[in-house]
Protein backbone atom coordinates (compact mmCIF):
# COMPACT_ATOMS: atom_id res chain seq x y z
CA UNK A 1 0.00 0.00 0.00
CA UNK A 2 2.81 2.39 0.94
CA UNK A 3 4.59 1.57 -2.34
CA UNK A 4 1.44 2.51 -4.25
CA UNK A 5 1.17 5.81 -2.35
CA UNK A 6 4.85 6.60 -3.00
CA UNK A 7 4.45 5.77 -6.68
CA UNK A 8 1.38 8.02 -6.98
CA UNK A 9 3.22 10.86 -5.23
CA UNK A 10 6.20 10.50 -7.58
CA UNK A 11 3.91 10.53 -10.62
CA UNK A 12 2.17 13.63 -9.28
CA UNK A 13 5.50 15.36 -8.69
CA UNK A 14 6.71 14.42 -12.17
CA UNK A 15 3.53 15.75 -13.77
CA UNK A 16 3.83 18.95 -11.71
CA UNK A 17 7.39 19.49 -12.97
CA UNK A 18 6.28 18.93 -16.57
CA UNK A 19 3.41 21.37 -16.08
CA UNK A 20 5.81 23.98 -14.67
CA UNK A 21 8.15 23.53 -17.64
CA UNK A 22 5.20 23.98 -19.99
CA UNK A 23 4.21 27.18 -18.16
CA UNK A 24 7.76 28.52 -18.12
CA UNK A 25 8.16 28.03 -21.88
CA UNK A 26 4.52 28.97 -22.60
CA UNK A 27 3.78 25.68 -24.35
CA UNK A 28 0.71 26.81 -26.32
CA UNK A 29 2.31 30.03 -27.55
CA UNK A 30 5.51 28.21 -28.46
CA UNK A 31 3.58 25.62 -30.47
CA UNK A 32 1.81 28.39 -32.41
CA UNK A 33 5.21 29.87 -33.26
CA UNK A 34 6.46 26.47 -34.43
CA UNK A 35 3.30 26.16 -36.55
CA UNK A 36 4.14 29.48 -38.24
CA UNK A 37 7.74 28.44 -38.88
CA UNK A 38 6.67 25.10 -40.35
CA UNK A 39 4.15 26.89 -42.60
CA UNK A 40 6.93 29.19 -43.83
CA UNK A 41 9.14 26.18 -44.55
CA UNK A 42 6.41 24.38 -46.51
CA UNK A 43 5.81 27.54 -48.56
CA UNK A 44 9.45 27.70 -49.61
CA UNK A 45 10.22 24.10 -50.48
CA UNK A 46 9.06 21.66 -53.15
CA UNK A 47 10.76 18.68 -51.54
CA UNK A 48 10.18 18.29 -47.81
CA UNK A 49 13.29 17.30 -45.86
CA UNK A 50 11.97 15.63 -42.71
CA UNK A 51 15.24 16.14 -40.82
CA UNK A 52 15.20 19.88 -41.54
CA UNK A 53 11.52 20.12 -40.64
CA UNK A 54 12.01 18.35 -37.30
CA UNK A 55 15.11 20.45 -36.54
CA UNK A 56 13.15 23.63 -37.32
CA UNK A 57 10.29 22.56 -35.04
CA UNK A 58 12.53 21.57 -32.12
CA UNK A 59 15.00 24.43 -32.53
CA UNK A 60 12.15 26.90 -32.95
CA UNK A 61 10.42 25.64 -29.81
CA UNK A 62 13.66 25.88 -27.82
CA UNK A 63 14.25 29.47 -28.96
CA UNK A 64 10.73 30.64 -28.11
CA UNK A 65 10.79 28.67 -24.87
CA UNK A 66 14.07 30.35 -23.93
CA UNK A 67 12.64 33.80 -24.65
CA UNK A 68 9.62 33.08 -22.48
CA UNK A 69 11.76 31.68 -19.66
CA UNK A 70 14.05 34.73 -19.65
CA UNK A 71 10.95 36.94 -19.74
CA UNK A 72 9.48 35.25 -16.68
CA UNK A 73 12.75 35.54 -14.77
CA UNK A 74 12.82 39.29 -15.45
CA UNK A 75 9.12 39.75 -14.62
CA UNK A 76 8.89 37.40 -11.63
CA UNK A 77 7.99 40.23 -9.25
CA UNK A 78 5.41 41.89 -11.49
CA UNK A 79 3.90 38.48 -12.28
CA UNK A 80 2.98 38.23 -8.59
CA UNK A 81 0.70 41.26 -9.02
CA UNK A 82 -1.51 39.82 -11.77
CA UNK A 83 -4.07 37.04 -11.31
CA UNK A 84 -3.33 35.42 -14.66
CA UNK A 85 0.41 35.15 -13.93
CA UNK A 86 0.74 34.83 -10.14
CA UNK A 87 0.53 31.01 -10.30
CA UNK A 88 3.44 30.70 -12.71
CA UNK A 89 6.40 28.62 -11.43
CA UNK A 90 8.58 31.58 -10.39
CA UNK A 91 6.12 33.95 -8.62
CA UNK A 92 4.48 30.98 -6.87
CA UNK A 93 7.88 29.78 -5.61
CA UNK A 94 7.64 26.33 -7.18
CA UNK A 95 10.80 26.98 -9.22
CA UNK A 96 13.92 28.94 -8.31
CA UNK A 97 15.31 31.76 -10.45
CA UNK A 98 18.59 29.82 -10.75
CA UNK A 99 16.87 26.74 -12.20
CA UNK A 100 14.82 28.88 -14.58
CA UNK A 101 17.95 30.69 -15.78
CA UNK A 102 19.84 27.42 -16.30
CA UNK A 103 16.92 26.08 -18.34
CA UNK A 104 16.66 29.30 -20.38
CA UNK A 105 20.40 29.24 -21.16
CA UNK A 106 20.32 25.55 -22.13
CA UNK A 107 17.32 26.11 -24.39
CA UNK A 108 19.14 29.04 -26.03
CA UNK A 109 22.34 27.11 -26.63
CA UNK A 110 20.64 23.99 -27.97
CA UNK A 111 18.11 26.04 -29.94
CA UNK A 112 20.81 28.07 -31.71
CA UNK A 113 22.87 24.92 -32.35
CA UNK A 114 19.92 23.05 -33.86
CA UNK A 115 18.92 26.00 -36.07
CA UNK A 116 22.58 26.45 -37.09
CA UNK A 117 22.59 22.82 -38.25
CA UNK A 118 19.92 23.89 -40.77
CA UNK A 119 21.85 26.96 -41.95
CA UNK A 120 23.59 29.98 -40.33
CA UNK A 121 20.92 32.53 -41.32
CA UNK A 122 18.19 30.54 -39.55
CA UNK A 123 20.27 30.50 -36.36
CA UNK A 124 21.00 34.22 -36.73
CA UNK A 125 17.32 35.20 -36.99
CA UNK A 126 16.45 32.88 -34.11
CA UNK A 127 19.11 34.48 -31.94
CA UNK A 128 17.98 37.99 -32.94
CA UNK A 129 14.43 37.14 -31.83
CA UNK A 130 15.66 36.10 -28.36
CA UNK A 131 17.81 39.22 -27.94
CA UNK A 132 15.03 41.59 -29.04
CA UNK A 133 12.39 39.89 -26.90
CA UNK A 134 14.41 39.64 -23.70
CA UNK A 135 16.74 42.64 -23.91
CA UNK A 136 14.51 45.23 -25.59
CA UNK A 137 10.82 44.25 -25.48
CA UNK A 138 10.64 42.97 -21.90
CA UNK A 139 12.49 45.91 -20.25
CA UNK A 140 10.38 48.42 -22.22
CA UNK A 141 7.01 47.02 -21.09
CA UNK A 142 6.74 49.26 -18.02
CA UNK A 143 8.20 52.26 -19.88
CA UNK A 144 6.14 52.95 -23.02
CA UNK A 145 3.11 51.71 -25.01
CA UNK A 146 5.49 51.64 -28.01
CA UNK A 147 6.65 48.31 -26.59
CA UNK A 148 4.10 46.55 -28.84
CA UNK A 149 5.88 48.02 -31.88
CA UNK A 150 9.21 46.75 -30.56
CA UNK A 151 7.79 43.33 -29.73
CA UNK A 152 6.29 43.02 -33.19
CA UNK A 153 9.79 42.54 -34.65
CA UNK A 154 10.75 39.31 -32.83
CA UNK A 155 7.11 38.23 -33.02
CA UNK A 156 7.11 38.51 -36.82
CA UNK A 157 10.20 36.33 -37.32
CA UNK A 158 8.67 32.79 -37.12
CA UNK A 159 6.71 32.80 -40.43
CA UNK A 160 9.73 34.00 -42.40
CA UNK A 161 12.14 31.82 -40.38
CA UNK A 162 10.71 28.72 -42.03
CA UNK A 163 11.39 30.17 -45.48
CA UNK A 164 14.97 31.01 -44.54
CA UNK A 165 15.39 27.48 -43.13
CA UNK A 166 14.29 26.01 -46.47
CA UNK A 167 16.32 28.31 -48.74
CA UNK A 168 19.17 29.73 -46.66
CA UNK A 169 18.30 33.14 -48.12
CA UNK A 170 16.41 36.26 -47.10
CA UNK A 171 14.61 38.06 -49.92
CA UNK A 172 11.26 39.49 -50.97
CA UNK A 173 9.34 36.30 -50.10
CA UNK A 174 10.32 35.96 -46.42
CA UNK A 175 10.17 39.75 -46.19
CA UNK A 176 6.47 39.69 -47.09
CA UNK A 177 5.82 36.82 -44.66
CA UNK A 178 7.53 38.91 -41.98
CA UNK A 179 5.36 41.95 -42.78
CA UNK A 180 2.13 39.94 -42.63
CA UNK A 181 2.87 38.71 -39.12
CA UNK A 182 4.31 42.10 -38.15
CA UNK A 183 1.11 44.06 -38.91
CA UNK A 184 -1.09 41.27 -37.51
CA UNK A 185 0.45 41.60 -34.06
CA UNK A 186 -0.85 45.14 -33.45
CA UNK A 187 -4.60 44.38 -33.46
CA UNK A 188 -3.91 41.03 -31.78
CA UNK A 189 -1.88 42.36 -28.85
CA UNK A 190 -3.84 45.57 -28.49
CA UNK A 191 -7.00 43.47 -28.18
CA UNK A 192 -5.27 41.49 -25.41
CA UNK A 193 -4.02 44.76 -23.90
CA UNK A 194 -7.60 46.09 -23.91
CA UNK A 195 -8.96 42.91 -22.36
CA UNK A 196 -6.32 42.80 -19.61
CA UNK A 197 -5.82 46.53 -19.16
CA UNK A 198 -6.64 46.53 -15.44
CA UNK A 199 -4.35 43.57 -14.80
CA UNK A 200 -1.48 45.09 -16.77
CA UNK A 201 -1.78 48.39 -14.93
CA UNK A 202 -1.44 46.57 -11.59
CA UNK A 203 1.99 45.48 -12.79
CA UNK A 204 2.83 48.91 -14.19
CA UNK A 205 2.46 47.87 -17.84
CA UNK A 206 0.64 49.97 -20.43
CA UNK A 207 0.08 47.98 -23.60
CA UNK A 208 -2.48 50.16 -25.41
CA UNK A 209 -1.31 52.66 -28.08
CA UNK A 210 -2.90 55.66 -26.35
CA UNK A 211 -2.47 54.39 -22.81
CA UNK A 212 -6.23 54.13 -22.33
CA UNK A 213 -9.23 52.17 -23.61
CA UNK A 214 -10.72 54.78 -25.91
CA UNK A 215 -11.72 55.59 -29.50
CA UNK A 216 -8.18 56.68 -30.38
CA UNK A 217 -6.85 53.28 -29.38
CA UNK A 218 -9.51 51.39 -31.35
CA UNK A 219 -8.84 53.64 -34.36
CA UNK A 220 -5.20 52.49 -34.26
CA UNK A 221 -6.40 48.90 -34.14
CA UNK A 222 -8.54 49.46 -37.25
CA UNK A 223 -5.68 51.10 -39.16
CA UNK A 224 -3.24 48.28 -38.48
CA UNK A 225 -5.88 45.66 -39.30
CA UNK A 226 -6.43 47.36 -42.66
CA UNK A 227 -2.70 47.35 -43.46
CA UNK A 228 -2.45 43.73 -42.35
CA UNK A 229 -5.11 42.81 -44.92
CA UNK A 230 -3.35 44.82 -47.66
CA UNK A 231 0.04 43.19 -46.99
CA UNK A 232 -1.54 39.72 -46.83
CA UNK A 233 -2.95 40.20 -50.34
CA UNK A 234 0.27 41.46 -51.98
CA UNK A 235 1.35 37.90 -53.06
CA UNK A 236 -1.74 37.76 -55.30
CA UNK A 237 -0.23 40.57 -57.41
CA UNK A 238 2.66 38.33 -58.57
CA UNK A 239 5.28 40.82 -57.41
CA UNK A 240 6.73 38.74 -54.58
CA UNK A 241 9.05 36.36 -56.39
CA UNK A 242 8.16 32.71 -55.89
CA UNK A 243 5.64 33.51 -53.17
CA UNK A 244 2.30 33.54 -54.95
CA UNK A 245 -1.37 33.47 -53.98
CA UNK A 246 -4.15 32.48 -56.37
CA UNK A 247 -7.26 34.60 -56.84
CA UNK A 248 -9.47 32.10 -54.99
CA UNK A 249 -7.09 31.94 -52.02
CA UNK A 250 -6.72 35.72 -52.04
CA UNK A 251 -10.51 36.00 -51.75
CA UNK A 252 -10.48 33.64 -48.76
CA UNK A 253 -7.71 35.68 -47.12
CA UNK A 254 -9.69 38.87 -47.79
CA UNK A 255 -12.83 37.36 -46.24
CA UNK A 256 -10.92 36.37 -43.11
CA UNK A 257 -9.43 39.86 -42.95
CA UNK A 258 -12.84 41.47 -43.27
CA UNK A 259 -14.13 39.30 -40.41
CA UNK A 260 -11.32 40.59 -38.23
CA UNK A 261 -11.95 44.14 -39.42
CA UNK A 262 -15.63 43.75 -38.51
CA UNK A 263 -14.73 42.82 -34.93
CA UNK A 264 -12.35 45.78 -34.90
CA UNK A 265 -15.27 48.04 -35.83
CA UNK A 266 -17.39 46.41 -33.11
CA UNK A 267 -14.70 47.23 -30.57
CA UNK A 268 -14.51 50.80 -31.89
CA UNK A 269 -18.28 51.12 -31.55
CA UNK A 270 -18.88 49.34 -28.22
CA UNK A 271 -15.56 49.93 -26.37
CA UNK A 272 -16.12 46.79 -24.27
CA UNK A 273 -13.96 43.91 -23.06
CA UNK A 274 -16.34 41.45 -24.70
CA UNK A 275 -15.75 43.10 -28.08
CA UNK A 276 -11.98 43.05 -27.47
CA UNK A 277 -12.15 39.33 -26.69
CA UNK A 278 -13.97 38.62 -29.97
CA UNK A 279 -11.36 40.61 -31.88
CA UNK A 280 -8.55 38.71 -30.16
CA UNK A 281 -10.11 35.34 -30.99
CA UNK A 282 -10.74 36.39 -34.61
CA UNK A 283 -7.09 37.44 -34.90
CA UNK A 284 -5.92 33.99 -33.76
CA UNK A 285 -8.25 32.42 -36.32
CA UNK A 286 -6.94 34.78 -39.01
CA UNK A 287 -3.23 34.11 -38.62
CA UNK A 288 -3.79 30.34 -38.31
CA UNK A 289 -6.07 29.97 -41.32
CA UNK A 290 -4.19 32.26 -43.70
CA UNK A 291 -1.02 30.25 -43.09
CA UNK A 292 -2.94 27.09 -43.94
CA UNK A 293 -4.43 28.78 -47.02
CA UNK A 294 -1.01 29.95 -48.25
CA UNK A 295 0.46 26.44 -47.88
CA UNK A 296 -2.49 24.59 -49.42
CA UNK A 297 -2.60 27.10 -52.30
CA UNK A 298 1.11 26.55 -52.99
CA UNK A 299 0.73 22.76 -53.24
CA UNK A 300 -2.44 22.97 -55.36
CA UNK A 301 -0.78 25.14 -57.99
Q: What does the mean pLDDT of the chain come to?
A: 89
| CATH H-level, domain 10-170: superfamily | UbiA prenyltransferase (1.10.357.140)
Q: Rounded to whole angstroms, how far apart are CA atoms 101 and 258?
A: 43
Position 11 scores a pLDDT of: 57
242-286 pLDDT per residue, tens: 888 999 999 999 999 999 999 999 999 999 999 999 999 999 999
- Rounded CA separation 301/299 (Å): 6
Task: Please state, in angstroms and as integers, the Cα–Cα distance from residue 282 to each residue in 22, 74, 87, 248, 287, following that order.
Answer: 25, 31, 27, 21, 9
In SS3 terms, the chain reads as CHHHHHHHHHHHHHHHHHHHHHHHCCHHHHHHHHHHHHHHHHHHCCCCCHHHHHHHHHHHHHHHHHHHHHHHHHCHHHHCCCCCCCCCCCCCCCCCHHHHHHHHHHHHHHHHHHHHHHCHHHHHHHHHHHHHHHHHHHHHCCCCCCHHHHHHHHHCHHHHHHHHHHHCCCCHHHHHHHHHHHHHHHHHHHHHHHHCHHHHHHCCCCCCCCCCCCHHHHHHHHHHHHHHHHHHHHHHHCCCCCCCCCHHHHHHHHHHHHHHHHHHHHHHHHCCHHHHHHHHHHHHHHHHHHHHHHHHHHHHC
pTM, rounded to two decimals = 0.88
| Per-residue pLDDT, 226 | 96
Task: Compute the distance between CA of residue 221 and CA of residue 115 in angstroms, rounded to an integer.
Answer: 34
pLDDT at 3 over 80: no
pLDDT category at 4 given cuts 50, 70, 90 is very low
Task: Indicate the pLDDT class of residue 114, thresholds 50, 70 and 90.
Answer: very high
Asked if the model's pLDDT at residue 7 lies above 60, the reply is: no
End-to-end CA distance of the chain: 63
Amino acid sequence: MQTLIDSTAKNHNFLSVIDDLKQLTKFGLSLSVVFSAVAGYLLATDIIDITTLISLAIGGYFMVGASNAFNQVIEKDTDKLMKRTQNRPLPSGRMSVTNAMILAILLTVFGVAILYSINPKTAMFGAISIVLYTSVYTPLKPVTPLVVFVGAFPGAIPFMLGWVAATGKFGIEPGVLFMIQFFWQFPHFWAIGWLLDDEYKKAGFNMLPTGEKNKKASTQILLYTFWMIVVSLIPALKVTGTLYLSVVSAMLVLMLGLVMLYYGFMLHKKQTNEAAKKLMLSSVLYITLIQVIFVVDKFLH
